[in-house]
Amino acid sequence: MTTHDTAAGLIESFADFAKQKNIDRPTMIRILEDVFRNMIRKKYETDDNFDIIINADKGDLEIWRFREIVDDDSEDIWDHDKISLTDAQKIEPDFEVGEEVAEQIYLDDFGRRAVTTARQTLIQKVKDLEKDILFQKYKELVGEIIAGEVYQILSKEVLLIDAEGNEISIPRNEQIQKDRYRKGESVRAIVHKVEMVNGNPKIILSRTSPVFLERLFEQEVPEVYDGLITIKKVVREPGERAKVAVESYDDRIDPVGACVGMKGSRIHAIVRELQNENIDVINFTENLELYVQRALSPAKISSIKIDKDNSRISVYLKPDQVSLAIGKGGLNIKLASRLVGYEIDVFRELDGQVEEDVDLDEFSDEIEGWVIDELKRIGLDTAKSVLTLSKEELVRRTDLEEETIEDVHAILRKEFE
């Protein structure tokens, strides 16, 4: 292998590799120069009197070392950029003191090991750069919807491939429970976060984030995209139910109507994407009482008491409205509370009398803590909310045994007898 071959082969193979990885020319040249300067520093301790000329297209590399000629007995003779007259005249007999020697250094002069190391370093640098480019690209896409193709379904995550062939992941807790993935199908999600894990960028997508729902509204509702309608807040139980508060600054636009679309045409596309998640679109208002009423719809409220100091709101309803307010599995009240930012307590009115509901925690001496936690997990935190659901429904939705549920029902019923 001649000197030129060594350099040309090294540069050409690197240039091909860099092109495949979409690395631009200036960056490619910069990486090459870095690596060669490093080789020079290892051998000569400094590179500040060396010039490197690279022509990546032809695979050409020239390295020039510049030194000033000094007298054989000059004390500067040991400086890295000086050369004795005797040594200079070995290169060219008619050199004189004070002149500059430009001497070409060849890759072979560094030895085979140095060249092999350089080749490995170049490949590593491109891989690092590639990771960095990927990391930066996705950092800028956080909060945006992208699509990927499913290529591997694991128990903890689903791996997708993006348009450029990069691996991206939807972890279990960012998937909607009803999602079913098939290899090769296209899946949409938002870029949730990007992390470096052991030096590799890990791109995490989410289908459960409220932001995903917000972006879907932007895609389906032009007025939201154009900023004529603002989404004030999104709360959701992914795949089950969501509440979206919207506001318009233009009186001529009905924000709820625009988001739902003719016969529900706009919202339908979003509901389908989210595995039939029930979406309530609500007109935002600064008037807290009105906001709570809208948040709890379809239930009709008789009266409201607001306790701002403790961030609690008591809502009084006719008996036939209570289960509507609480909703299936306590979801309606849970989401309404999160939407308005207050804990909402529901009370039923009996002939003008208010029948109190009781917090489940009050029963902690009779019902074991883990049972209460399991009920709370599906949004039931008061005695009434548990009693409104049948035994079968509770068995289906919790990890509790039938007997346990019968005991709980009996204890709670006693409270209201």
Residue with tokens 């979406």: 279
Q: Which residue ranges form the domains of the chain, and what is each CATH number?
A: 3-136 (3.30.1480), 142-208 (2.40.50.140), 224-284 (3.30.300.20)
22: confidence class by pLDDT, cuts 50, 70, 90: confident
C-beta of residue 267 within 8 angstroms of C-beta of residue 277:
no
Q: What is the DSSP letter of 283?
A: E
Rounded Cα gap, residues 162 and 256, in angstroms: 34
Residue with tokens 């599995």: 329
From 246, 272, 269, select the one nearest 258 (Cα to Cα): 246
pLDDT average, residue stretch 205-212 = 98
SS3 251: coil
H or E stretch covering 82: strand 82-84
Q: Tell the burial category of 199 from Cβ atoms under 10 Å away from its Cβ (0-12, 13-18, 19+).
A: exposed
Q: Of 6-10, 126-130, 191-195, 316-320, which range is least confident?
A: 6-10
Q: Could you tell me the maximum CA-CA distance found in the chain, to the nearest angstrom? A: 119
Instruction: Read off the pLDDT of residues 34-83 as tens digits, 9 standing for 90 and up.
Output: 999 999 999 999 999 999 998 877 778 899 999 999 999 888 888 889 99
Rounded Cα gap, residues 147 and 142, in angstroms: 13
User: Quick check: 1 pLDDT over 80?
Assistant: no
User: Quick check: 4 pLDDT over 50?
Assistant: no
Which residues, other chains included, contact 414 with Cβ-Cβ below 8 Å and sequence gap of 6+?
none
C-beta of residue 88 within 8 angstroms of C-beta of residue 69:
yes
C-beta of residue 270 within 8 angstroms of C-beta of residue 217:
yes
Share of residues in the chain with pLDDT > 90 (%): 63
Residue 270 CB neighbours (<10 A): 21
**Over the chain, what is the mean pLDDT?**
90
Rounded Cα gap, residues 151 and 146, in angstroms: 16
Amino acid at 4: H
Rounded Cα gap, residues 246 and 266, in angstroms: 15
185: confidence class by pLDDT, cuts 50, 70, 90: very high
Pairing of strands 312-317, 343-350: parallel
352: confidence class by pLDDT, cuts 50, 70, 90: low
Q: How far apart are the first and last CA of the chain?
A: 98
Q: Tell the burial category of 46 from Cβ atoms under 10 Å away from its Cβ (0-12, 13-18, 19+).
A: exposed
Q: Which of residues 193 and 14 earns the better pLDDT score?
A: 193
DSSP characters over 153-198: E-SSEEEEE-TTS-EEEEEGGGS-TT----TT-EEEEEEEEEEEET
User: Quick check: 393 pLDDT over 90?
Assistant: no
Share of residues in the chain with pLDDT > 70 (%): 97
Which residues, other chains included, contact 167 with Cβ-Cβ below 8 Å and sequence gap of 6+?
159, 160, 161, 203
Pairing of strands 145-153, 353-355: unpaired
pLDDT at site 330: 87
pLDDT average, residue stretch 176-191 = 96
User: Quick check: 3 pLDDT over 50?
Assistant: no
Residue with tokens 């300067």: 37
Instruction: Read off the pLDDT of residues 266-300 as tens digits, 9 standing for 90 and up.
Output: 999 999 999 999 999 999 999 999 999 999 988 99
Rounded Cα gap, residues 277 and 225, in angstroms: 22
356: confidence class by pLDDT, cuts 50, 70, 90: confident
H or E stretch covering 343: strand 343-350
C-beta of residue 236 within 8 angstroms of C-beta of residue 335:
yes
Pairing of strands 60-70, 82-84: parallel
Rounded Cα gap, residues 303 and 416, in angstroms: 22
C-beta of residue 353 within 8 angstroms of C-beta of residue 316:
no
